[in-house]
Structures are given as structure tokens and as C-alpha cells.
Amino acid sequence: MSDLDIKDSKYKIFKQMIKAFYNDDDNKEMEKKEDLVDTKKVKIQPKIIYSSFNKTLKIEFQIGINQMYKLKNLPEFYERMLKNESYKYGSRLEFVHKEECFEEESKPLLKYIIKYAEIIKYANEASSSYGHYGSTLKDNYITISNSGLDEIFEILKNQNVNFEKEYEETNIFFEDKEPEIKFDLEDLENGEYRIVPNIDLFLYEIIEGKKYKYFLYKNALYKISEEFENTIFKLLEIYRKNYTNEIVFQEKDLSKLFSIIFPKIKSNLNLEKVNKDKINKYIPKELAVKLYLDYNADNNILGEVKFVYGDVEFNPLSGEKVNIARNIAKENKILSTFINTGFMLDKTNNRMILVNDNNIYNFLSSEIESYMREFEVLVTDKFKQKEIHQSQIGTIGVKIDNNLLKIDLNDLGFDIRELEEIMKKYRVKQKYHRLKDGSFIEFENNPTIQFISDITDAIDIDYNELKKGEMSMPLYRSMYLDRLLQGLKNTNIVKSVEYKKMVDNIEKRESDEEIEIPKKLYADLRNYQKTGYKWLMLLDKYKLGGILADDMGLR
């Protein structure tokens, strides 16, 4: 081997490294790939396959520009997108797999494919790696799960989609609304009536998503609401389970139809085929509700309910017979609202009662607002007095007595004898305290309670002494107290002359004229040293104490 060969062999690996990272080669390759991108964008067309037998959905995809090609292997497509690989599907489709190569309308579908193709890929690889036996996921389609159906509907809504059912292909439209299903009420002229739907009862199917259900009928897939499911669909199922396309009933049952069924399907029940004068007496007038609120001796809320139809007013808990057309469905819903709030129905006394402080607090703090929007709420003066409030300190006094701060708390807005229990609840983060008079003090954003908490923090409070309306604090907390007082709004603050003078002097850092530099101090003090000395003496005068952080050159 020649010396030249030996030298080439020695540097061979280095040359490989250079070649592997040589940008020009990469750029040339990318230019080659870019040439493969058609000026027209790639589109994706889905095909949904539905099995009525086992209620399953799967989705396949075709991609192309002028000619469409089926995606036969979704995990491989995922890999191509991951690597931005160029791939040729046929004589008329070859492109670099980048998101920008797809038309804008197809990009949501592209993301859907990539998401589920990745799941298929790694699920199958895991199954193979761990030696699991049994079937793997098919790689040419995506089985649509419940959550996947919700997802794909959002992507395809308001579009026509290729659809296969029992090997028959058609197009269905993804309708982002409910189907317009009507029921005709017909007079049979023999004392009987019937209700007939306007659809073929044996052509629709219900397909379940995770959040929604979908109504498949003829050439459309509709997203339906929970209300539709509990009314229209429930009625359709009664027809279908009884293998009939009509429901027949007697004229005397019209009152039940209009009091129980009609309110729920009012916009879907067609009355054009019946004599309006004949059925008007069965159609209930608009239901209004009056609610009278009061407290009993135990501070529980009492409620008396009146249902009102026009000029007719009655208590639904009394059991009295009312000879009018009634909206029973709405009446039951209203009574359920009361029960869900926590009211107990006291049918013996024809009233409702709300017990338990939590229930009463929740009712007064939030639920009563919705009651006032929906019902006519009338309350007694006693009820008005037992409201939720934050309390407001009317007047607070501060003075200095025997080197202690004395704080007058006689005007807190509640009985000071309840303060100990109030502060216990406040410190364990409860929302409220119910006073003995039945009213509530709300703790959140309550300046009065926050003030009391601040001044009693880190101090052993004698609540027995506090019942007299006055509390004591060490004098050294004077400035802290004054800052807290400044935060009280709409409160009359009365400061003694001595306390006010002390605070003013300290706030302004004004040295008392009586404070003199000791004559025995043999030193020429600078002005800032004199000020510092007098400041410390001022603090000492008011028993506040001070710390000298720097000796100021006084040694």
C-alpha cells in the first residue's frame, strides 16, 4: 500500500463526516423535492362506512389533485408527513408530504388522520414487540370512537360526505342543527284524535358520540341536543317500539296531551288539522309564579307558592282541584327547582320550608337572584332584615391609657359578644357566620372582619374583656394600627389628642424641641447624626423602641 493510500485511509472517516453534514447536498435534495410540489394543492376526501348491525363507523381517505388515490396505509402516510418525504402514489400524484402542500379545506382532516394514524402505528408496534397474539388495528381506515365522532363531525359539518351503508354508497350532509320533525294532531270526527309524525319511523338511526348524539335520517346526519333526545326522540321511540305510525286517544284526554306533552313539543306539534275553537279550552295559558318569603321563629325560611293562570291563582301544595287547563310539565319543573334549592314541601301546612344554614346562605347569596328573574318574589319586612351583609364599623375610637392603646369597638355593626365565634369561623376559611338574629355576615371582601383579624393577629385576645366593647394593644403597635385605620372606608375614626400627636410626630419624623444633644458628648456631630439621635430619643419617649443599624460614627 502506498503512502498516499495510507493517508487517504487515515482521513476517510473525516471525509464521511463532512459529506454527511454538507449543506449544499441537502439544499440540492430539497430543491429536487420542491420541484415535485404541484402548483395545485392536494385535497383529502373522506368516506364514512356505517354498519347498522353493530352501530359502528369507520372512515377511509382518498388524496389527490386531479385524480384521487386511496390511502392504503395510514401509519406509512404518518411517517411520510413526519419526515417530509416525497412519495409517488401513481402516475398523476407525487409530492413532498408537508402540510402546506394540502388545500386549506383539507388541513383539519389531515390533522385528524395524523393523530389517529400515529395511534394505529404505535399500538400495532407495541402489540408486535411484546409478542401479543390476536388482531392488530387495521391500517387502511380509522374506527370512529365516541369522542372521534364528535371530533369528525366538527370537521365535516355543513359538508357533503361520501357515505356507505350496507355496501350501498351515497352522499350525506352533516347538518349542524336538529331535524325538523313535526307531529300532526288530527281530529278523527268520532270522539277520537291521533298524532302522526311526518317522517318514516323505521328509517332513522341514532349514533352516539361522547358529548352528543347524532340522528341519521335519509341523506343527512344531524347533531341533536339533550332536549331533543328527551322530547322528540323519546316520542319517536314510542311509535317505533309499538310498530305504529299513529297514536290514537280520546277527546277527554286532550287535557293530558296539552298539560303534559304539548309544553315540551310545542314548536313541533302541528294544530292546523284540528278545529282551534274546539281545542282552545285544553291549551293552558301562560303559567306565572308568585313566591312569598318569610322567616319562622327558628330562623328558617318559609315559602308560600301560588301558580297563576290568567285570573286563576292557587296553591299547588294544597291539593285543591282547579278546573282549568294546566301546564303540568312546567309546574313539576318549578317544584323541582324549589326542591333542588333545598326547600322541603310541607303539604300539611301548604307551604315550603328551607332549613340548614348552608342552604339558607346559598339561597340568599345566589339562588334568590334567579328566583327573582323567573318568579314574582314577595318578602316580609322580617325577611328583609335577615339579609347577608358585610357589616360596617360606624365609629371607632383610639386613645392611649397607661402606656397601652385602647380601641373602642362598640359600633361594629353586630353584637360584639358574638365576635369570638365569628373570628373562629373566619380563621378556618368559612364563608359566613350566621348571627343570633338570623342574618348573615359574609367574610369574603369584608373590611370590618379583615380589620379585626389584622389588629388581633399575634395577640392573645381576652374575649371576655372584649365583650365590654374595648380592647387593649401594646403601644409599639401604634403605627401599625394607624395604617390599618387608614384602610377603613366610611368609618368615623376618633383619635385622642395624645395618640394623634404621637402619630403625627412619628409620621413626620419631627424631633421634639425638648430633646437635646447631651452636653457631655465631646464630639462635633454632623446634622444627620443629630437627626438620628433625636429620632431614637423620640421613639424612646413613646415607648416604641428602635434599632440602630449603623453607628453613624459616634464611637
Q: Which residues in the chain show pLDDT less than 70? A: 1-10, 22-39, 129-135, 458, 507-555
DSSP β-bridge partners for residue 407: 398, 471
CA 18, 20, 22, 26: dihedral to nearest 10 degrees?
170
Angle at 457 between CA 454 and CA 462, to 5 degrees: 115
Q: For position 508, what pLDDT does the model report?
A: 63
Tell me, what DSSP letter sits at residue 42?
B
Q: For position 516, what pLDDT does the model report?
A: 62
Q: For position 550, what pLDDT does the model report?
A: 60
Question: What is the distance between the alpha carbons of residues 455 and 461, in angstroms, rounded to a whole number?
Answer: 10
Predicted structure pTM score: 0.62
Question: What is the distance between the alpha carbons of residues 525 and 178, in angstroms, rounded to a whole number?
Answer: 91
Residue 152, amino acid: I
Q: For position 144, what pLDDT does the model report?
A: 92
Give DSSP secondary structure letters for 426-467.
Answer: HHTT-SEEE-TTS-EEE-TT-HHHHHHHHHHTTS---HHHHT
**How far, in whole angstroms, is CA 33 from its chain's centroid?**
48
Q: For position 515, what pLDDT does the model report?
A: 57
Q: For position 70, what pLDDT does the model report?
A: 95
Contact 481, 455 (CB under 8 A): yes
